[in-house]
Amino acid sequence: MAYKRILTVQDISCVGQCSLTVALPILSAAGHETAILPSAVLATHTAGFSGYPFRDLTEDIPAIAAHWQKENIRFDGIYTGYLGSAEQIAYVKNLFATALGDGGVTFVDPAMADNGKLYPAFDQAFVEEMKTLVFGADIILPNITEACFLTDTPYRDTYDEAYIDSLLQKLTASGAKTVVLTGVGFEDGYTGVMVYDGKTKQYYRHKKISRGSHGTGDVYASAFVGAYLQGKTAYDAAVIAADYTVRCIENTVDDPSHWYGVKFEPVLPYLIERLS
């Protein structure tokens, strides 16, 4: 396996098992040199905590990017998670243009919405800016809600395969090269992931665990990126990431005190085994 260097751009929630505190250990466990660019620092994540100190690091990004360019630092992959503003999206697009090495791959998790609604910090103007990042990336990992916002499609709680096919086709028609659509379930008790590259569609179904868990989207996206950069196909990476995420939730579901994230760290040996 080639030793890859990946940059991940997202916030640091110091406590809460999400964003960079998930991406860094998972990508490292996958065997990659993992560089980070924090977009903000929060004492905790925003779901279930209140009064958390917060520092926006947007103004620091251009100087960091300029330093990397001066030092001729390049990355084999750039992976973005939660971005807090349209200005940060613009800076990431510049990184795609200046910091990606030859043959490098860009991954965008448009972390901005779920359950039919945008996160409270975002509005339609942010969605329009996110479209310019998503549709210029190599691989995107939206959930169904995000796919609806990206394609101006009305969100539906219940749907059939034709509805999902329409979302996939709209995304690729707008410029997405490979779509990894998460949270796709056609049967009670199951959910899954649909992978589509504009020609071939592949679906992986896995059991759905009733308890919701914060940070699982970050766990999934990080495991996917780690697997893909190891040389797995998009579908195989999607399967590995799904199985790993399910195991992380199973490892947490019986502990009501651990409501703020999933215990992903003890399950890293399983991920490493699957990757090898």
For the chain, how many structural domains are there in total? 1
Task: Give the model's pLDDT for residue 50.
Answer: 83
pLDDT digits (tens, 9 = 90+) for 163-208: 999 999 999 999 999 999 999 999 998 999 999 999 999 999 998 8
What is the SS3 assignment for 154-210? Answer: CCCCCCCHHHHHHHHHHHHHCCCCEEEEECCCCCCCEEEEEEECCCCEEEEEEECCC
SS3 label, residue 85: coil
| Rounded Cα gap, residues 18 and 27, in angstroms | 13
Those residues with Cβ within 8 angstroms of residue 242's Cβ, 6 or more apart along the chain or in another chain: 192, 193, 204, 206, 220
Range of the domain at 243: 5-275
The pTM of this model reads: 0.96
CATH number at residue 141: 3.40.1190.20
pLDDT digits (tens, 9 = 90+) for 213-266: 889 999 999 999 999 999 999 999 999 999 999 999 999 999 999 999 999 999
Share of the chain above pLDDT 70, in %: 100
> Any bridge partners for residue 108, and if so which?
80, 140
The per-residue DSSP string of 2-33 comes to ---EEEEEEEEEEESS-THHHHHHHHHHTT-E
